[in-house]
């Protein structure tokens, strides 16, 4: 049986989070593990070793109260093999993302 890639979504805007999940599930056939509307909940999920490790992490960089780049460091620490795809409407964050050697 073919491996179905798993993922989590970290996005504070509910409509964008729901649209991304629908696209990833229906068009790409990916398997959602969980989604988070804030960095704190996502960090707690990633830090818990009992939780499944995603293959992909879709990460919004601009969130209230936290930098997605701080969460990116945690994601790399807790999910060594996961690929991180940043989602942002801000060009400066996209450029900074390349400095972190991430996709998106």
Query: In this predicted model, what pLDDT tens digit does every residue of 25-68 receive, in sequence order?
Result: 999 999 999 999 999 999 999 999 999 999 999 999 888 877 77
Higher pLDDT pick, 77 / 67: 77
Residues 6+ away with beta carbon under 8 Å from 18: none
Domains of the chain: 9-99 (3.40.50.2300)
* 51 torsion bin: left (phi>0), alpha (psi -120 to 50), beta (else): beta
Residue 100, pLDDT > 70, answer no
């Amino acid at each position: 049986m073919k491996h179905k890639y798993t993922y989590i979504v970290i996005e504070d805007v509910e409509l964008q989070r729901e649209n991304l999940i629908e696209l990833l599930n229906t068009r790409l056939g990916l398997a959602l593990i969980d989604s988070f509307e804030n960095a704190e909940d996502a960090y707690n999920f990633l830090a818990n070793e009992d939780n499944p490790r995603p293959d992909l992490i879709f990460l919004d960089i601009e969130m209230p109260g936290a930098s997605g780049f701080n969460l990116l460091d945690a994601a790399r620490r807790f999910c060594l093999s996961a690929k991180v795809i940043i989602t942002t409407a801000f060009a400066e964050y996209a450029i900074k993302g390349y400095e972190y050697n991430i996709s998106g």
